[in-house]
Amino acid sequence: MTDSLTIRDNRTGEEHEIEIVDGTIRAADLKKVGGLATYDPGFVNTASCRSAVTFIDGDEGILEYRGYPIEQLAEHSTFLEVSYLLLNGELPTSDQLGQWTHDVTHHTFLHENIKGLMTGFRYDAHPMGMLMSSVSALSTFYPDASDIADPANRYLQTTRMIAKMPTIGAFAYRHSQGKPYVYPDNELSYCANFLSMLFKMSEPTYAADERLVKALEVLFILHADHEQNCSTNAVRSVGSSQVDPYSAVAAGIGALYGPLHGGANEAVLKMLRRIGSTDNIPGFIAGVKEGKEKLMGFGHRVYKNYDPRAKIIKKACDDVFEVTGINPLLEIALELEKIALEDEYFVSRKLYPNVDFYSGLIYEALQFPPEMFTVLFAIGRTPGWLAQWQELVVDKEQKIARPKQIYTGHRTRDFVPMGQR
Ligand code: CMC
């Protein structure tokens, strides 16, 4: 064997040969080395699956969906076309795209009882909590979704979920505003309809500025997938129990809610607002270097170079600000980035702006409150979650996710009666 690893176990003096395939060894093969296991909190160097959906080269700053560079997709494609690509592996023909667009458009409405469920939330409920609960509730409206072995059924549920996410997201937003929920307008494109459900008041048709619609398309495309990130791992992990896709995606939404993942852009805006002026940047950076806090929107587990999505978003900022006027926080963000990119602390740790550093500024310019930022991320990420879930469901190598542990607690102790503790 040439593609192999020889391990000498110094406890016993025994040597073991382990096969290397695709730059990995099978963790299960380590068992024969005296029952050895790997310890990898956060899965920093563990492949959990084989996937043909998304390729990332973190050192070079490359991101490709099904082999197509993100830059080309952001420039030439639409979110629904990219969703088709992620789910099916190939770009659609004109007929295929027509059918897909038709199918998604005709599933945008929600059962009235989902609306009823949403109106029951408190007036100040976080829209991510509302989104997570409503998506999970969809599993009770479509109990047939549990038949995950049937490809036609998977297609139906996938279409439903991509169609209904903007409706739920928009209802959650209107709820926080105390405004009536706006039903979908199926004459509009996916993104134009979303903006209509968010912002329409008494006008018969809400006509969003085309440049803003395009910016939203780009933002959704950039967020559509990112291989085995925290929320996708959650979807796969929960999906590995063979539960229905609504429950699996609800778990992904929960993971995305956290400030180290999808919640980071909300945290970036709060941070920029707190810094308040470029004069305060040196003091803030000094605090970060002393470990008092993190520079939110910087750093990435995979990218050790400028996040390619951040470059595209930075450009989209210009287009959006042309319509909405410049967000005053942009000046602070640009100066912060300039200083951080020259600072030894960030350079030596390869900390560059990630997708969240600029996305919040655009979202704010589009009039979204910070609580909605992660909802936008979730809508964009839905086709990626579902593409990964589909891949998992048909992958014969996959098993129910069940990591090992290193047990650090007590062993067999006798129960102590209450009076003797
Ligand atoms: N500000 C300051 N220091 C940082 C930062 C940051 N944003 N990120 C990492 N570091 C430091 C960290 O303290 C550590 O330093 P040391 O070696 O001295 O202990 C070193 O850099 C390596 O960091 P790490 O925590 O081991 O890296 P990780 O891969 O576990 O974490 C991360 C990745 C994204 C969670 C982290 O960089 C972070 O918390 N960034 C801020 C939150 C953020 O912007 N998240 C959005 C990620 S992109 C969108 C998404 O995919 O959800």
- Nearest atom in ligand 1 to the alpha carbon of residue 349 is 21
Q: Which residues of 334-372 are buried (b: 16+ CB within 10 A; e: fewer)?
A: eebbebbeeeeebeeeebbbbbbbbbbbbbbbbebebbb
In whole angstroms, what is the distance from residue 306 CA to residue 414 CA? 56
Q: Is 92 in the pocket of ligand 1 (CB under 6 A)?
A: no
CA neighbours within 13 Å on the CB side: how many for 313? 26
Reported CATH class of domain 71-396: mainly alpha
356 Cα–ligand 1 center, Å: 13
Closest by alpha carbon to 386, among 109, 104, 78?
Answer: 104
The residue to which tokens 């006798």 are assigned = 414
293 Cα–ligand 1 center, Å: 11
The answer to whether the beta carbons of residues 267 and 295 sit under 8 Å apart is: no
The residue to which tokens 């199918």 are assigned = 103
In whole angstroms, what is the distance from residue 26 CA to residue 28 CA? 5
347 Cα–ligand 1 center, Å: 13
For residue 256, the model assigns a pLDDT of: 96
Selecting among 124, 356, 395, 410, the annotated active-site residue is: 356
311 Cα–ligand 1 center, Å: 19
Q: Is 300 in the pocket of ligand 1 (CB under 6 A)?
A: yes
Q: Six-digit token pair at 281?
A: 């940047």
Q: Is 260 in the pocket of ligand 1 (CB under 6 A)?
A: yes
The residue to which tokens 């005053």 are assigned = 328
Selecting among 225, 244, 300, 307, the annotated active-site residue is: 300
The residue whose CB lies within 8 Å of the most ligand 1 atoms, and thus the one to mutate among 70, 260, 348, is: 260
- Please list the residues that pair with 18 across neighbouring strands: 5
Active site residue 356: yes
Q: Is 301 in the pocket of ligand 1 (CB under 6 A)?
A: yes
One pLDDT digit (tens) per residue for the chain, 421 residues: 579 999 999 999 999 999 999 999 999 999 999 999 999 999 999 999 999 999 999 999 999 999 999 999 999 999 999 999 999 999 999 999 999 999 999 999 999 999 999 999 999 999 999 999 999 999 999 999 999 999 999 999 999 999 999 999 999 999 999 999 999 999 999 999 999 999 999 999 999 999 999 999 999 999 999 999 999 999 999 999 999 999 999 999 999 999 888 888 888 999 999 999 999 999 999 999 999 999 999 999 889 888 899 889 988 888 888 888 888 888 899 999 999 999 999 999 999 999 889 888 888 888 888 889 999 999 999 999 999 999 999 999 999 999 999 999 999 999 999 999 9
In whole angstroms, what is the distance from residue 239 CA to residue 120 CA? 28
Q: Is 359 in the pocket of ligand 1 (CB under 6 A)?
A: no
Residue 363 has φ and ψ, to the nearest 5°, of: -60, -40
- Nearest atom in ligand 1 to the alpha carbon of residue 291 is 13
Domain boundaries, the chain: 71-396
* CA distances to 33, 98, 214, 247 from 103, in Å: 53, 9, 22, 22
For residue 1, the model assigns a pLDDT of: 57
Q: Is 16 in the pocket of ligand 1 (CB under 6 A)?
A: no
Q: Which residues of 193-217 are buried (b: 16+ CB within 10 A; e: fewer)?
A: bbbbbbbbeeeeebebeeebbebbb
Q: Which helix (H) or strand (E) holds 7?
A: strand 4-9
The residue to which tokens 């930075």 are assigned = 314
Q: Is 295 in the pocket of ligand 1 (CB under 6 A)?
A: yes
Active site residue 40: no
Residue nearest (by alpha carbon) to ligand 1 atom 24: 301
In whole angstroms, what is the distance from residue 345 CA to residue 409 CA? 38
